[in-house]
Structure 1
Amino acid sequence: MLAGGIPIGIGLMLAGLGGMAILISPEAALIKGGVVSYEVISKYELGVLPLFLLMAHICFAAGASRDFFAVAARFVGHRRGGLALASIGGCAGFGAISGSSLATVATISSVALPEMRKAGYHPGFAAGALAAGGTLGSLVPPSGALIVFGIIAEQSIGKLFAASLIPVATQAISYLVTIILLCAFNPALGPASTRAPWSERLRALGRIADIVALITFVIGGLMIGWFTPTEAASVGVIASLGLLALRGGFTLAALREAVHATLRTAGMIYVIIIGAMLFATFISITGITEAMSGAVVGLHASPVMAIVVMTLVLLLLGSFLDGVALMLLTTPIFLPIAEALGYSPIWFGIFLVRTMELGFVHPPLGLNIYVLQGVAKDLSLGTIFRGVIPFLCADFLHLAAIIAFPAMALWLPKAMGA
């Protein structure tokens, strides 16, 4: 169905209902479909998703989306590869607003790519840094992917957000190191530009002070227990409305556009989640997960080896499926196996989203690559894919570290008591 162009939510829904109709009865499948749909729509915890989306769109309307790159460029743009380093910082900062990889790469590349090309950067190197940096949006809180995983897997969203902080920080550092090494071996990739005076740097910092305070308050309050996830998102919406007013953008048109974009995206995600829950119900009825878990345990292979095999399967599927489809299709099957092997579901959520991010930049799908090519239509897909290869190598090393050292994801939630 996916290969035939049917949307992921509808495809999951039809597969789940059809499977239940065959295994049980059409009447039971219809009743279960109604019950699951109502439970999803009425779930209080799911309110966190449209609220964080609304907060993001209000921040877009406030013009806060491009300021992170400007700050980073003022501070490190004068170094070799400095604008590429700034693009990683911009992606990390903007990801904390948007929670989306595609939105991050589309927004930051529209600002950073013209600046890097004007400064004489190699086009493939510049595009590769932006494509890789865009994946930070999937993991940095408030990550939409982690929210969806938390709902599907019935895990604490606050714990998932806390667990993501060290992996996303080390991921960003791995990209920065890659840029520094590439420019050290070949300075022509990212020539140094003019140093910005401190007056410009301080002005740029001032422009993001309000949005940084907003993000710190909302995400920090959630992690230390001041708010539940839904309360944190609600506080974020109110605070972002105040930010919009302070920046002089509080208009009826801006609010209408923010609400419209939120409803459009949230409606699509609700359909996907309903489909995923029906598909997961069908999978549980078949007994596939128990059989696969038993088979894996019966092989007496090490848990790490089983996770490596899962990684290879996810990377293979990620060559043909987008990230959300990959996560929703595989979570009902792989999560019980990971738990049977002794892995924490919180760690598995971080591992799954991190693996999913690789699908945004590796061929043949690589959605971030196509988004970038839409921004810079004169760049060929081959040029962008070649530019992203060094960053893909860094991604694989980082993913291996998460698998080898689960404490990267689990230490902070335990330390914070999240």
Structure 2
Amino acid sequence: MSAGAFGVAGIAILLALLMLRVPVAFAMFLVGFIGIWILNGWNAAMGLLGSETFTLASNPELVIIPLFILMGNVASHTGMSRQLYDAAYALIGQIRGGLASATVIGCGGFAALSGSSVASALTMGKVSLAEMERFEYDPRLSTGVVAAGGTLGILIPPSTGFVIYAILTEQSIGRLFLAGVLPGLLLLAAFVLTITLMCWLRPAFGPAGPSTTMAQKRRAMLGAAPILTVIMLTIGGIYAGFFSPTEAAGVGAGFVIIYGIAIGKLGPRAFWAACKDSIVTTATVMLILIAAHMINPFLALSHVPSFVGEFLAALDLGVTGTLIAILFVYMVLGCFLEGFAMLVLTLPIFFPVIVELGIDPIWFGVLVVLTLEMGLISPPVGINVFIVKSVAPGVELGQIFRGVLPFWLAMIVTLATLIAFPQISLILPDTMFN
């Protein structure tokens, strides 16, 4: 059997293992290790396992992952997510569909603390779903907006997705973080516009909430000041050149810890719970990265990336056509695979093609991460939909999937806009480095 045939067989086995719900890291490790063993010998496979594990574990750039995860977990335990939602609620809750729009804004703000889509959906679901139920929002809108709004966690920096993309493609984490800011805000605005249109076309979907006085608005905004401060310290500090991404993660985590202790909401038990959650999440990410560095050499040895590049070149789709074809593959895979698994599995195959075509890797990273977001609400996997289902057990799963459809279409429009206008993604990183 040729090396290429081994590569295709390895990918097929990997997909089968993932569909059988074998953990992503173990499936990739198994296929990668055995593939290298077959193609390059036992000593090469064992040597790569030892060297890559040590290299990743000693990479100082990866410190950013546990620090940002800790920042998000501490913020959740100290109630900062609730304060952000209350501020948005006070400002726009009185308009039709205002509570749903406040939820999206809250998701966007919490995304800038946690970098996790699942955490954003879970946290904001607990905060906002009961409130929207109290004002008789249609369950399709209330659950759909939480599931879709949670996806902002993987696009608005700090994003774990950007960190993994940067590690796998050897790109700048700082540039990727800044590249995600404007697209994240654009998608947030598209979600708010979608809510407004839905409530305008069908007023019963989202009735108006209670009005608030100017004094209440000021108090709510004052309550959100700590979150806004953290965002300015981290993202603003990276843009201004005061901090590296790793330093910004340390500053942000330190700030929320000190704030939580100062207001008396971060005792030893809550801090331990936040640390334990952060350790589990970090270990999961690290295992995936180690497995990625096992399967990538196997794909290279089997020449699968070369075959894919030659196939796409033979189609003669042009640069834009090839880019759209690759993104379409991500959309299809997103219906069945978890986002990190897609990144690790596909980047070794598609990234050389992107480089060969002269496509900006930072821009491509934003497009890929946005496409991964779509997978978070796409059936049948749609992990954010199942997260919302766990928070709202009384709502049928089919209703939630119908509720996310308008937001999925808004993502398509945003993706098309970013493809048509690359500078939306590139203006901030280009400004920072120029």
Per the normalisation by structure 2, the TM-score is 0.94
Q: Which residue of 2 aligns with 1:159?
A: 175
Give 1:26 deviation, angstroms. Answer: 1.4
Q: Which residue of 2 aligns with 1:191?
A: 207
Q: Which residue of 2 aligns with 1:205?
A: 221
Give 1:352 deviation, angstroms. Answer: 0.9
CA distance in 2, matches of 1:212, 1:236: 11
CA distance in 2, matches of 1:223, 1:157: 12
The 5-angstrom pairing of residues 348-359 of structure 1 reads 348-359=364-375
Give 1:276 deviation, angstroms. Answer: 0.9
* Alignment partner of 1:339 out of 340, 344, 355: 355
The 5-angstrom pairing of residues 142-291 of structure 1 reads 142-291=158-307
Q: Which amino acid aligns with 2:61?
A: E
* Alignment partner of 1:309 out of 305, 311, 325: 325
Q: Which residue of 2 aligns with 1:13?
A: 29
CA distance in 2, matches of 1:33, 1:107: 37
3-state SS of 2:19 partner: coil
RMSD: 1.3
* Alignment partner of 1:91 out of 91, 94, 107: 107
Q: Which residue of 2 aligns with 1:39?
A: 55
Q: Which amino acid aligns with 1:323?
A: G
* Counterpart contact for 2:81–2:123, Cα < 8 Å: yes
Q: Which amino acid aligns with 1:388?
A: V
Q: Which amino acid aligns with 1:208?
A: A
Describe the superposition over 1:338-376 as per-residue Cα deviations: whole angstroms up to 9, x where unpaired.
111111111111111100000111111111111111111
CA distance in 1, matches of 2:31, 2:420: 35
Describe the superposition over 1:294-342 as per-residue Cα deviations: whole angstroms up to 9, x where unpaired.
3323443211111111122111111111111111111111111111111
Q: Which amino acid aligns with 2:406?
A: P
Runs of 4+ in 1 over 4 A off after TM superposition: none
Q: Which residue of 1 aligns with 2:12?
A: none
Q: Which 5+ residue runs of structure 1 have no aligned equivalent?
A: none
* Counterpart contact for 1:9–1:272, Cα < 8 Å: yes
Give 1:405 deviation, angstroms. Answer: 2.0
Q: Which residue of 1 aligns with 2:67?
A: 51
CA distance in 2, matches of 1:360, 1:4: 19
Q: Size of the alignment, in residue pairs?
A: 418
Q: Which residue of 2 aligns with 1:81?
A: 97
1:379 aligns with 2:395: yes
Describe the superposition over 1:131-157 as per-residue Cα deviations: whole angstroms up to 9, x where unpaired.
111111111111111111111111111
Per the normalisation by structure 1, the TM-score is 0.97
Give 1:285 deviation, angstroms. Answer: 2.0
Deviates further, 40-49 or 282-291? 282-291
3-state SS of 1:18 partner: helix
* Counterpart contact for 1:161–1:223, Cα < 8 Å: no
3-state SS of 2:81 partner: coil
Give 1:116 deviation, angstroms. Answer: 1.0
